[in-house]
Structure 1
C-alpha cells in the first residue's frame, strides 16, 4: 500500500488522478508547526488527517 505524503508527517500532499489535482492535509502536523490552515481550504481537501 502506497503511503501518502500527509500520512507520513508532511503538512500538505498533492496528488494527480485522472488529470485532476487534489490534496490532503495533515492537521496535526500543521498544528505542531504553528501553521494555520483556513477552514475553507480544509473543506476542499480530499482527506484531512487529524491524528
Structure 2
C-alpha cells in the first residue's frame, strides 16, 4: 500500500512541476512579447509613426 501511495505522490509532484514549468514558460513569453512591443513603440516614435 505504501508503494502505491509513493507512486501517487510522485505523479502529483511530476504534475506540479509540469504545471510550474508551463507557468514559467507562459510568463517568459509574456515578458518577451511586452519587450518586443516596447521596442516597436520606441522605434515607431523615433521615425514618427503613430501607433
TM-score by length of 1: 0.22
- Greater fraction of residues in helix: 2
- Greater fraction of residues in strand: 1
